[in-house]
């Protein structure tokens, strides 16, 4: 294309006139509308990172589609934006979590952990009565409580301990009027509920007597804090024993003799998660077995599904076969079913005593399809073959139909037999077209969590291991288990992220090597 023509084409599409520009303007307006909405929502939620990212993406979109200098970007930008949001961000966040101790007991920020510890350790004074309570306000706007104890009214605020108010009016056991105070109605109480729930009215001048607080603005109870937080020194003190807890590197309050308070917060812990991942002896044995099985499972799955898919594709590609379209449609059916549902159905059908396979097809045989280590592996591969061959069938059919007819003709003229033609022409050409898909299929099966979880749940268990892992567990289901996401251990998102990064590296390396190998294939064509 000559430079002049190229310029002319761009100018034609880029001028401010014409229907094309109007359409573009409307589309960008829609994008901007969505962006501005996102910015406002992020502003309100205080998510500054999201706000900055949205503004940046929005600015980029406007620049790219209104400038004349970025033709390629016009095509790439949407994909790039989604890549950033759904891939790069997620990978980055996983990487970040891998270096923190996010998990059970370290679920949140320090501020919230302090709040939770204080609220959990404020105890009702034993034997103290339930006090009918009314929220009142003094002339200068200070909130107070008016309570009834043994039929007598008392009023107090955070500063002034409860004092008898003999001239208060009582109705139905609660104070309805106190001279010098305004009784707040329900609506006002609800509006100021934060102040009401945080208000502590001391019972007497002695702090050890405790203070009245309320949770529903109807009844008050005398409470006594067990823990006190000193903001300046950043320490927790147990009021009963006097033990002082200071924050440690693990994100917990720790006393001098090593005792920790239960609620912690999230902190970065460096490479500790990676050390844990490889440091636990109990996992060392099972890990090797599971790694081998994972690789075997992924490779065998790809090989078996590809072999069956290709065989069927070649059979149904033969013009002599009648009703090919009907068969082809039937072949694709397993592919149309959701994988997790199919796996669940299969696990029912393979039940040793009541499954269809044993009961109906095998006349009541008691074959332990899912409970014998080797048969379970075979069942997993078999079900995955059933689930996966239609995909291979589809891509092979497509690839076969696009093979050039002239090479076959040449082969026939050269006197090549059927086997020779298949080995030297069909197979290599097919592999050129499908190799990248086979590699991605390998990566998919390497992490085929749904199938394992739904079909065998990783079982049958290793008899000789001390961890709840089994013969059909693959790495990703092991991660799910080890990091407690299945509930069998305290949840540890940090460890889970660290382990998934390890898996990512393994899959990445294998895929990179495989891609390098396929480049040799491409030289054929």
Piece in contact with other proteins (CB under 8 A), picked from 153-161, 184-192, 249-257, 404-412: 184-192
Is 7 an interacting residue with respect to other proteins (CB under 8 A)? Answer: no
Is 216 an interacting residue with respect to other proteins (CB under 8 A)? Answer: yes
Which residues are CB-neighbours of 296 under 8 A, at least 6 positions away? none
- # of chain residues touching other proteins (CB under 8 A): 73
Is 420 an interacting residue with respect to other proteins (CB under 8 A)? Answer: no
Piece in contact with other proteins (CB under 8 A), picked from 66-74, 235-243, 379-387, 497-505: 66-74
Among 403, 489, 515, which residue's Cα sits nearest to residue 105?
489
Is 189 an interacting residue with respect to other proteins (CB under 8 A)? Answer: yes
Asked if residues 223 and 124 have their Cβ atoms less than 8 Å apart, the reply is yes
Residue 16 or residue 419: which is nearer to other proteins going by CB? 16
Q: In angstroms, what is the minimal distance from the CB of 264 to other proteins?
A: 9
Figure out which of the listed residues 175, 302, 370, 396 binds other proteins, where binding follows CB under 8 A: 370
Figure out which of the listed residues 13, 62, 177, 511 binds other proteins, where binding follows CB under 8 A: 62
Distance between CA atoms of 251 and 34, rounded to whole angstroms? 39
Is 248 an interacting residue with respect to other proteins (CB under 8 A)? Answer: no
Figure out which of the listed residues 357, 444, 468, 521 binds other proteins, where binding follows CB under 8 A: 468
Is 457 an interacting residue with respect to other proteins (CB under 8 A)? Answer: yes
Is 484 an interacting residue with respect to other proteins (CB under 8 A)? Answer: yes
C-alpha 307: how far from chain center: 35
Is 452 an interacting residue with respect to other proteins (CB under 8 A)? Answer: no
Q: In angstroms, what is the minimal distance from the CB of 312 to other proteins?
A: 33
Figure out which of the listed residues 72, 242, 364, 487 binds other proteins, where binding follows CB under 8 A: 487
Q: Where are the alpha helices (DSSP H) in 221-369?
A: 272-279, 281-316, 324-336, 339-349, 356
Figure out which of the listed residues 219, 304, 359, 424 binds other proteins, where binding follows CB under 8 A: 219
Is 217 an interacting residue with respect to other proteins (CB under 8 A)? Answer: yes
Fill in the per-residue mask, 321 to 360: x = in contact with other proteins (CB under 8 A), - = not in contact. ------------------------------xxxx------
Restricting to residues 87-126, which ones interact with other proteins according to CB under 8 A?
Answer: 104-105, 107-109, 112-113, 115-117, 119-120, 122-124
Is 56 an interacting residue with respect to other proteins (CB under 8 A)? Answer: no
Is 476 an interacting residue with respect to other proteins (CB under 8 A)? Answer: no
Residue 22 or residue 164: which is nearer to other proteins going by CB? 22
Is 460 an interacting residue with respect to other proteins (CB under 8 A)? Answer: yes
Q: In angstroms, what is the minimal distance from the CB of 126 to other proteins?
A: 9
Asked if residues 221 and 145 have their Cβ atoms less than 8 Å apart, the reply is no
Asked if residues 493 and 103 have their Cβ atoms less than 8 Å apart, the reply is yes
Restricting to residues 8-37, which ones interact with other proteins according to CB under 8 A?
Answer: 16, 25-26, 28-30, 32-33, 35-37
Angle, alpha carbons 512-518-519 (nearest 5°): 95
Distance between CA atoms of 425 and 412, rounded to whole angstroms? 11
Restricting to residues 263-322, which ones interact with other proteins according to CB under 8 A?
Answer: 263, 282
Residue 200 or residue 324: which is nearer to other proteins going by CB? 200
Is 191 an interacting residue with respect to other proteins (CB under 8 A)? Answer: yes
Q: In angstroms, what is the minimal distance from the CB of 367 to other proteins?
A: 12
Residue 171 or residue 463: which is nearer to other proteins going by CB? 463
Which residues are CB-neighbours of 205 under 8 A, at least 6 positions away? 161
Is 490 an interacting residue with respect to other proteins (CB under 8 A)? Answer: yes
Q: In angstroms, what is the minimal distance from the CB of 93 to other proteins?
A: 14
Q: In angstroms, what is the minimal distance from the CB of 491 to other proteins?
A: 8
Among 126, 194, 138, 127, which residue's Cα sits nearest to residue 163?
138
On the CB side of 335, CA atoms within 13 Å amount to 15
Other CB atoms within 10 A of residue 501 CB:
18
Is 474 an interacting residue with respect to other proteins (CB under 8 A)? Answer: no
* Token reading at 286: 């099972």
Piece in contact with other proteins (CB under 8 A), picked from 71-79, 227-235, 383-391, 452-460: 452-460
Is 246 an interacting residue with respect to other proteins (CB under 8 A)? Answer: no
Asked if residues 152 and 192 have their Cβ atoms less than 8 Å apart, the reply is no
| Number of alpha helices (DSSP H) and beta strands (DSSP E) in the chain | 20, 15
Element (H, E) at 238: strand 235-238
Q: Specify the DSSP class assigned to residue 129.
A: P
Distance between CA atoms of 362 and 357, rounded to whole angstroms? 6
* Token reading at 270: 């460096």
Asked if residues 126 and 117 have their Cβ atoms less than 8 Å apart, the reply is no
Distance between CA atoms of 136 and 154, rounded to whole angstroms? 11
Phi, psi values for residue 177, rounded to 5°: -150, 135
Residue found under tokens 């390497």: 446
Asked if residues 372 and 459 have their Cβ atoms less than 8 Å apart, the reply is no
Is 67 an interacting residue with respect to other proteins (CB under 8 A)? Answer: yes
Distance between CA atoms of 308 and 388, rounded to whole angstroms? 10
Is 66 an interacting residue with respect to other proteins (CB under 8 A)? Answer: yes
């Amino acid at each position: 294309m000559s430079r002049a023509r190229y310029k002319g084409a761009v100018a034609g599409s880029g001028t401010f006139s014409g229907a094309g520009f109007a359409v573009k303007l409307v589309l960008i307006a829609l994008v901007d509308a969505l962006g501005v909405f996102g910015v406002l929502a992020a502003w309100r939620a205080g998510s500054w990172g999201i706000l900055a990212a949205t503004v940046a993406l929005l600015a980029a979109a406007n620049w790219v589609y209104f400038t004349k200098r970025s033709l390629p970007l016009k095509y790439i930008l949407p994909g790039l934006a989604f890549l950033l949001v759904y891939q790069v961000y997620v990978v980055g966040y996983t990487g970040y979590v891998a270096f923190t101790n996010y998990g059970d007991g370290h679920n949140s920020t320090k501020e919230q952990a302090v709040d939770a510890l204080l609220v959990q350790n404020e105890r009702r004074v034993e034997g103290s009565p339930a006090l009918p309570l009314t929220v009142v306000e003094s002339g200068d706007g200070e909130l107070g409580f008016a309570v009834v104890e043994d039929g007598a009214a008392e009023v107090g605020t955070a500063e002034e301990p409860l004092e008898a108010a003999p001239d208060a009016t009582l109705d139905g056991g609660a104070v309805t009027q106190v001279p010098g105070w305004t009784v707040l109605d329900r609506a006002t109480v609800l509006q100021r509920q934060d102040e009401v729930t945080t208000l502590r009215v001391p019972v007497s001048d002695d702090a050890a007597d405790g203070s009245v607080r309320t949770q529903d603005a109807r009844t008050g109870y005398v409470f006594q804090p067990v823990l006190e937080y000193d903001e300046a020194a950043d320490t927790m003190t147990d009021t009963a024993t006097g033990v002082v807890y200071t924050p440690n590197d693990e994100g917990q309050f720790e006393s001098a003799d090593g005792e920790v308070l239960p609620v912690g917060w999230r902190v970065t812990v460096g490479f500790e998660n990676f050390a844990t991942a490889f440091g636990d002896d109990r996992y060392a044995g099972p890990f090797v077995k599971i790694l081998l099985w994972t690789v075997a499972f992924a490779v065998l799955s790809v090989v078996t599904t590809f072999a069956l898919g290709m065989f069927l594709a070649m059979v149904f590609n033969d013009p002599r076969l009648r009703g090919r379209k009907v068969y082809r449609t039937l072949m694709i059916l397993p592919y149309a079913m959701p994988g997790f549902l199919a796996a669940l159905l299969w696990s029912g059908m393979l039940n040793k005593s009541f499954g269809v396979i044993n009961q109906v097809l095998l006349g009541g045989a008691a074959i332990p399809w899912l409970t014998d280590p080797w048969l379970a592996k075979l069942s997993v591969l078999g079900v995955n073959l059933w689930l996966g061959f239609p995909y291979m069938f589809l891509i092979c059919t497509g690839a076969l139909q696009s093979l050039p007819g002239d090479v076959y003709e040449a082969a026939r003229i050269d006197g090549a037999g059927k086997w020779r033609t298949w080995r030297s022409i069909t197979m290599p050409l097919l592999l050129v077209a499908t190799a990248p898909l086979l590699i991605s299929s390998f990566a998919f099966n390497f992490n085929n969590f749904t199938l394992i979880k739904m079909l065998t749940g990783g079982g049958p268990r290793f008899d000789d291991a001390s961890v709840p892992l089994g013969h059909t567990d693959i790495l990703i289901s092991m991660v799910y288990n080890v990091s407690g996401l299945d509930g069998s251990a305290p949840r540890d998102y940090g460890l889970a992220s660290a382990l998934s990064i390890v898996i990512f590296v393994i899959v990445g390396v294998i895929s990179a090597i495989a891609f390098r190998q396929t480049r040799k294939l491409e030289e054929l064509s």
